[in-house]
Structure 1
């Protein structure tokens, strides 16, 4: 449980304010896009903490589809990926109080990000759904979307069930999250499983290469560690 984790802000690194543009973690530089970020220690390990910045990008529950699934991430600078693998460990908790009552701990990756952040692909998790007693909620634990034209709501309307699935995950636990990208196909592997938990056979966006980022959304405190990027 996250409450048991010993969170200590590094003395040499403080939480970035909303005007800051970049942060350095593990000798890698990241650009902040509609988020705040800080480097912290969790049980002696240096991790990156990311939260959506509502001052920069407000959220409107009455306009849910228009104000979620947005570019809310820290983007790795000077790395462009076409085909290859992105792997990271992530842990999600819900803010208390949360600005969104239905927050699910939204956390994941964005990739093939355009230079101006106007288009990208993403796969993310809703960890709170993974242990829900309601099967309908469980079926929405993993989500793919393509920004800006194919957010979760449009994909549900037009391709119900095809771009979401269930995996056994929960809040407040480290999850190994690996995406393998090959052409228009993306495969998601959870917790080092031999076979993919989720497959997107044909991604919906126009990009075929671009930057990668660590992504969170409304009501989420996201922690990331052990980021690995391997081009193919």
Structure 2
């Protein structure tokens, strides 16, 4: 913690006090920088969709508490070996994680839906996603809000570093990618509570995280 109230973690190693929730985490260098490589465990990846993976508590739980403020991290994501056909290199930030992991919110990128790949049909508008565990996964949000207000187009692609920034205040979250505003959710699906921050991944993804910064309002 700095004097300004900002927590910064380079993620060149697993921070002391971190916990692994259905993921593995290893220090590694990728694309010119030190990072943590995060993937689902074999047990989680071989489990049941909607129970063990797909918008579930699968993250590195960092020793940082947060309710309102700004969370930023560099993310580099790509498909893992043996990824299912629907995998899109899902990786992002979980926040307000409850002590028992039964509630949290998250925003994640889908680099294979990024504009840089010119994906077909509706995938072009699904580069970034908000969800709230456990009630509001991406599928329910998409069904009940077909206007797509909880996901957005993003000028990203796999195998590249992106800077993901979340500005969280009450029941709103504004998301920027590489300094460009991408998604603004004015009515999130969870009651604001204080909780921890996590590095989140999902099925079929090899993700790398570097330089996380958390500042509270």
CA distance in 2, matches of 1:72, 1:149: 16
Q: Assess if the C-alpha contact under 8 Å between 2:89 and 2:206 holds in 1.
A: yes
With CA pairs under 8 Å and 6+ residues apart, which has the higher RCO, 1 or 2? 2
2:111 counterpart residue number:
127
1:47 and 2:35 matched: yes
User: Going by fraction, where is strand more abundant, 1 or 2?
Assistant: 2
2:98 counterpart residue number:
114
Tell me: CA distance 1:119–1:57, structure 2 relative to 1, closer, same or farther (3 Å). farther
Q: Assess if the C-alpha contact under 8 Å between 1:120 and 1:207 holds in 2.
A: no
1:10 counterpart residue number:
none
1:71 and 2:57 matched: yes
> Aligned runs of 1:121-200 on 2, under 5 Å?
121-130=105-114, 131-160=117-146, 161-193=148-180, 196-200=181-185
Query: What TM-score do you get using the length of structure 2 for normalisation?
Result: 0.87
Q: What's the CA shift string for 1:32-88, capped at 9, x where partnerless?
A: 00001101122553211000113146344xxx44541000100111x2111110001
CA distance in 2, matches of 1:132, 1:59: 32
Q: Assess if the C-alpha contact under 8 Å between 1:24 and 1:30 holds in 2.
A: no
1:34 counterpart residue number:
22
2:78 counterpart residue number:
93
| Higher alpha-carbon Rg | 1
Query: What TM-score do you get using the length of structure 1 for normalisation?
Result: 0.82
CA distance in 1, matches of 2:15, 2:138: 34
Tell me: CA distance 1:208–1:137, structure 2 relative to 1, closer, same or farther (3 Å). same
Of 171, 179, 187, the match for 1:202: 187
1:218 counterpart residue number:
203
Q: Assess if the C-alpha contact under 8 Å between 1:119 and 1:207 holds in 2.
A: no
SS of the residue 1:97 aligns to:
coil
Unaligned runs of 5+ in 2: 1-10
Unaligned runs of 5+ in 1: 1-22
CA distance in 2, matches of 1:180, 1:69: 21
1:25 counterpart residue number:
13
Q: Assess if the C-alpha contact under 8 Å between 1:176 and 1:190 holds in 2.
A: yes
Q: Assess if the C-alpha contact under 8 Å between 1:59 and 1:218 holds in 2.
A: no
